[in-house]
């Protein structure tokens, strides 16, 4: 099996979720640093246009969205603990990746948090970043929560978490998928100097954050974007085991021309031929002039499939 390649940039909170999971699973991986805004000329041929960060690549197989990336890493390592708590842990993870994510992003739009963020960026960089994110949201704003309300919500969450954490992790002595989804949101808040005091007031939450950070990021080597694209072009994609399940696909059959897109923001459709669709995963095949034959994997939840 090829070494996993993560296309990411350091401040990306969803990327931190995967970097920390690499550390917990003690995996070797390759790091491709991408710009936080478009263009990304060596990544788009692999992803087919999918713009959210991060993206994981294994040879000619490309994994979009951290939900499917986490499942693939658990499968590769044979880890049976991440999803062991079952439905509740998976739903908590989903809540953190959606509702809590929106709250934490809104916190960074408080005036003092914006000032702290802008102190690390030039005015031109900030303008370019805001323009890029406006294009990414395309009518479905990422920040849908009032910043003042977000602060009140977040403090209430921290109070509850601080009172209820009576074991190392949310569901016991070992972390589950829910911990990694909660962690990356806390990490994102702690990374802004104006928001850090919100967490410092809760020592049990701080200890929890430290435990997650102590997993590190695994064994990582740097890889150039051009090299990652070449790996995709030179590799043969690994076909999925599962077929197209009509309970999810309805009238769409294997081989149908489809598009797949997130149903929240970044609704940029990726076109290809449907190969597999089950309760956890959608897989399509693509042909690209630069990347060659590529298979792109998406989670079933949070994405929409349409006939092309």
Q: Are residues 96 and 197 in the same domain?
A: yes
pLDDT score recorded for residue 136: 79
Model confidence band, residue 300 (pLDDT cutoffs 50, 70, 90): very high
Model confidence band, residue 140 (pLDDT cutoffs 50, 70, 90): low
Q: Are residues 99 and 192 in the same domain?
A: yes
Of 190, 213, 236, which closes a domain? 213
Q: Are residues 62 and 111 in the same domain?
A: no
Write out pLDDT tens, residues 182-211.
Answer: 999 999 999 999 999 999 999 999 999 999
Of 180, 196, 213, which closes a domain? 213
Model confidence band, residue 64 (pLDDT cutoffs 50, 70, 90): very high
| Least confident piece of the model among 81-85, 133-137, 244-248, 270-274 | 133-137
Over 115-174, what HEC string results?
Answer: HHHHCCCCHHHHHHHHHHHHHHHCCCCCCCCCHHHHHHHHHHHHHHHHHHCCCCECCECC
Q: Are residues 109 and 169 in the same domain?
A: yes
**E strands in the chain:** 5-8, 28-33, 55-58, 61-64, 219-222, 257-262, 270-277, 281-288, 292-299, 303-307
Of 182, 213, 244, which closes a domain? 213
Model confidence band, residue 109 (pLDDT cutoffs 50, 70, 90): confident
Over 210-221, what HEC string results?
Answer: HHHHCCCCCEEE
Cα 308 from Cα 295, distance rounded (Å): 17
Q: Are residues 237 and 275 in the same domain?
A: yes
Q: What is the CATH number of the domain that holds 196?
A: 1.20.1050.10
With a cut of 70, say whether residue 306 has pLDDT above it.
Answer: yes
Q: Are residues 208 and 91 in the same domain?
A: yes
Report whether 261 contacts 303 (CB < 8 A). Answer: yes
Tokens at 283, concatenated: 């897989």
pLDDT score recorded for residue 141: 60
Q: Which residue has the higher pLDDT, 26 or 265?
A: 26
Q: Are residues 131 and 145 in the same domain?
A: yes
Q: Sign (positive/negative) of CA torsion 15, 17, 20, 26?
A: negative
Cα 220 from Cα 230, distance rounded (Å): 19
Cα 204 from Cα 183, distance rounded (Å): 13
Tell me 96's DSSP state. Answer: I
Model confidence band, residue 41 (pLDDT cutoffs 50, 70, 90): very high
Q: Are residues 201 and 245 in the same domain?
A: no
What is the residue range of 252's domain? 5-80+219-307
Q: Are residues 198 and 280 in the same domain?
A: no
Residue range 41-47: average pLDDT? 98
Q: Half-sphere exposure of 233 toward its Cβ, with a 13 Å CA cutoff?
A: 14
Query: ∠10-15-19 over CA atoms, to 5°?
Result: 90
Write out pLDDT tens, residues 226-240.
Answer: 999 999 999 999 999
What domain count does the chain have?
2
Q: Half-sphere exposure of 136 toward its Cβ, with a 13 Å CA cutoff?
A: 17
Tell me 52's DSSP state. Answer: S
Q: Are residues 188 and 103 in the same domain?
A: yes
Average confidence score pLDDT of the chain:
94
Q: Are residues 179 and 266 in the same domain?
A: no
With a cut of 80, say whether residue 126 has pLDDT above it.
Answer: no
Q: What is the CATH number of the domain that holds 285?
A: 3.40.30.110
Q: What percent of the chain has pLDDT over 90?
A: 85
Q: Are residues 286 and 270 in the same domain?
A: yes
């Amino acid at each position: 099996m090829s070494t996993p390649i993560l296309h990411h940039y350091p401040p990306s909170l969803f990327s931190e979720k995967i970097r920390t999971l690499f550390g917990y699973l003690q995996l070797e991986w390759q790091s491709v640093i991408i710009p936080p805004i478009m263009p990304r000329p060596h990544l788009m041929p692999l992803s087919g246009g999918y713009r959210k960060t991060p993206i994981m690549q294994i040879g000619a197989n490309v994994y979009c969205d951290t939900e499917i990336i986490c499942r693939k890493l658990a499968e590769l390592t044979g880890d049976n603990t991440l999803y062991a708590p079952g439905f509740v842990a998976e739903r908590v993870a989903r809540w953190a990746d959606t509702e809590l994510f929106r709250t934490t992003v809104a916190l960074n739009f408080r005036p003092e948090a914006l000032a702290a963020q802008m102190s690390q960026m030039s005015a031109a960089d900030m303008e370019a970043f805001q323009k890029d994110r406006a294009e990414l949201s395309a009518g479905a704003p990422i920040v849908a929560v009032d910043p003042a309300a977000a602060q009140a919500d977040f403090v209430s969450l921290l109070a509850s978490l601080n009172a209820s954490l009576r074991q190392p992790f949310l569901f016991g002595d070992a972390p589950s998928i829910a911990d990694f989804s909660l962690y990356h949101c806390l990490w994102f808040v702690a990374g802004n100097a104006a928001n850090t005091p919100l967490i410092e007031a809760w020592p049990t939450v701080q200890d929890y954050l430290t435990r997650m950070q102590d997993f590190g990021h695994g064994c990582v080597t740097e890889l150039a974007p051009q090299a990652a694209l070449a790996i995709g072009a030179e590799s043969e994609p690994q076909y999925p085991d599962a077929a197209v399940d009509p309970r999810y696909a309805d009238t769409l059959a294997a081989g149908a021309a489809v598009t797949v897109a997130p149903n929240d923001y970044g609704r940029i459709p990726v076109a290809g031929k449907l190969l597999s669709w089950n309760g956890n995963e959608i897989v399509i095949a693509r042909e690209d002039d630069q990347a060659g034959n590529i298979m792109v994997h998406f989670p079933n939840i949070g994405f929409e499939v349409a006939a092309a």
